[in-house]
Protein backbone atom coordinates (compact mmCIF):
# COMPACT_ATOMS: atom_id res chain seq x y z
CA UNK A 1 0.00 0.00 0.00
CA UNK A 2 1.25 3.45 -0.92
CA UNK A 3 0.67 6.42 1.35
CA UNK A 4 0.64 9.76 -0.43
CA UNK A 5 0.42 12.96 1.63
CA UNK A 6 -0.94 15.63 -0.68
CA UNK A 7 -3.30 18.41 -1.56
CA UNK A 8 -6.43 16.36 -2.02
CA UNK A 9 -8.37 19.11 -3.76
CA UNK A 10 -8.90 22.85 -4.14
CA UNK A 11 -11.86 24.79 -5.47
CA UNK A 12 -13.09 28.33 -5.83
CA UNK A 13 -16.74 28.10 -4.97
CA UNK A 14 -19.58 28.83 -7.30
CA UNK A 15 -22.09 30.75 -5.22
CA UNK A 16 -24.75 28.48 -3.72
CA UNK A 17 -23.63 25.39 -5.65
CA UNK A 18 -22.39 22.23 -3.98
CA UNK A 19 -19.08 21.34 -5.68
CA UNK A 20 -16.74 18.38 -5.31
CA UNK A 21 -13.51 19.29 -3.56
CA UNK A 22 -12.18 15.71 -3.66
CA UNK A 23 -13.41 12.32 -4.87
CA UNK A 24 -11.59 9.27 -3.49
CA UNK A 25 -10.26 7.17 -6.38
CA UNK A 26 -11.28 3.54 -6.88
CA UNK A 27 -9.15 1.10 -4.85
CA UNK A 28 -8.06 3.90 -2.51
CA UNK A 29 -9.03 5.41 0.81
CA UNK A 30 -8.22 8.81 2.25
CA UNK A 31 -7.93 10.75 5.48
CA UNK A 32 -8.63 14.47 5.21
CA UNK A 33 -6.47 16.06 7.92
CA UNK A 34 -7.34 19.72 7.39
CA UNK A 35 -9.61 21.93 5.35
CA UNK A 36 -8.70 25.57 4.73
CA UNK A 37 -11.36 28.16 3.84
CA UNK A 38 -10.42 31.62 2.56
CA UNK A 39 -12.79 34.51 1.84
CA UNK A 40 -11.18 37.06 -0.49
CA UNK A 41 -14.38 39.06 -0.82
CA UNK A 42 -15.51 42.35 0.69
CA UNK A 43 -18.46 40.80 2.53
CA UNK A 44 -18.92 37.97 4.99
CA UNK A 45 -19.78 34.63 3.39
CA UNK A 46 -21.19 31.36 4.67
CA UNK A 47 -19.90 27.92 3.78
CA UNK A 48 -20.83 24.29 4.27
CA UNK A 49 -18.79 21.09 4.05
CA UNK A 50 -20.38 17.72 3.25
CA UNK A 51 -19.16 14.12 3.07
CA UNK A 52 -21.14 12.06 0.60
CA UNK A 53 -20.72 8.27 0.75
CA UNK A 54 -20.07 6.37 -2.46
CA UNK A 55 -23.24 5.62 -4.38
CA UNK A 56 -25.43 8.04 -2.43
CA UNK A 57 -27.80 10.40 -4.19
CA UNK A 58 -28.04 14.02 -3.13
CA UNK A 59 -31.55 15.31 -2.66
CA UNK A 60 -33.54 17.56 -0.37
CA UNK A 61 -34.06 14.77 2.17
CA UNK A 62 -30.61 13.15 1.98
CA UNK A 63 -28.27 16.17 1.82
CA UNK A 64 -28.78 17.42 5.40
CA UNK A 65 -27.36 14.21 6.89
CA UNK A 66 -24.17 14.53 4.82
CA UNK A 67 -23.16 17.94 6.23
CA UNK A 68 -20.26 18.03 8.71
CA UNK A 69 -20.45 21.85 8.82
CA UNK A 70 -23.49 23.80 7.67
CA UNK A 71 -23.77 27.55 7.27
CA UNK A 72 -20.64 28.58 9.13
CA UNK A 73 -19.59 32.19 8.50
CA UNK A 74 -16.18 33.28 7.21
CA UNK A 75 -15.60 37.01 7.71
CA UNK A 76 -14.48 39.42 5.00
CA UNK A 77 -10.84 38.93 3.93
CA UNK A 78 -10.31 36.19 6.50
CA UNK A 79 -9.47 32.50 6.63
CA UNK A 80 -10.39 29.49 8.74
CA UNK A 81 -8.75 26.14 9.27
CA UNK A 82 -10.67 23.00 10.20
CA UNK A 83 -8.45 20.43 11.87
CA UNK A 84 -10.43 17.27 12.42
CA UNK A 85 -9.77 14.04 10.55
CA UNK A 86 -12.37 12.73 8.13
CA UNK A 87 -11.94 9.18 6.84
CA UNK A 88 -13.20 8.47 3.34
CA UNK A 89 -13.52 5.10 1.58
CA UNK A 90 -13.23 4.61 -2.18
CA UNK A 91 -15.77 6.65 -4.14
CA UNK A 92 -16.69 8.97 -1.27
CA UNK A 93 -16.88 12.69 -2.01
CA UNK A 94 -15.80 15.71 0.03
CA UNK A 95 -17.97 18.57 -1.22
CA UNK A 96 -18.40 22.22 -0.32
CA UNK A 97 -20.79 25.08 -0.86
CA UNK A 98 -20.44 28.80 -0.19
CA UNK A 99 -22.71 31.81 -0.46
CA UNK A 100 -20.16 33.71 -2.54
CA UNK A 101 -17.79 33.03 -5.43
CA UNK A 102 -15.03 34.67 -3.36
CA UNK A 103 -14.54 31.60 -1.13
CA UNK A 104 -11.71 29.16 -1.80
CA UNK A 105 -11.60 25.75 -0.14
CA UNK A 106 -8.60 23.41 0.06
CA UNK A 107 -8.37 19.90 1.53
CA UNK A 108 -5.10 18.33 2.66
CA UNK A 109 -4.47 14.80 3.78
CA UNK A 110 -3.39 11.26 3.09
CA UNK A 111 -4.43 9.05 0.19
CA UNK A 112 -3.85 5.32 0.63
CA UNK A 113 -3.83 3.10 -2.45
Beta carbons of 95 and 19 less than 8 angstroms apart: yes
Q: What is the mean pLDDT of residues 47-54?
A: 96
pLDDT digits (tens, 9 = 90+) for 30-44: 999 999 999 999 999
Beta carbons of 106 and 7 less than 8 angstroms apart: yes
Residue 59 is predicted with a pLDDT of 79
pLDDT digits (tens, 9 = 90+) for 14-23: 999 999 999 9
Dist. CA 29–CA 102, nearest whole Å: 30
Amino acid sequence: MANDYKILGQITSTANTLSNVYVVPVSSAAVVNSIHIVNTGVANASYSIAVIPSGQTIGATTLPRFFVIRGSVIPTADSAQLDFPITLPAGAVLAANASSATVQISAFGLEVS
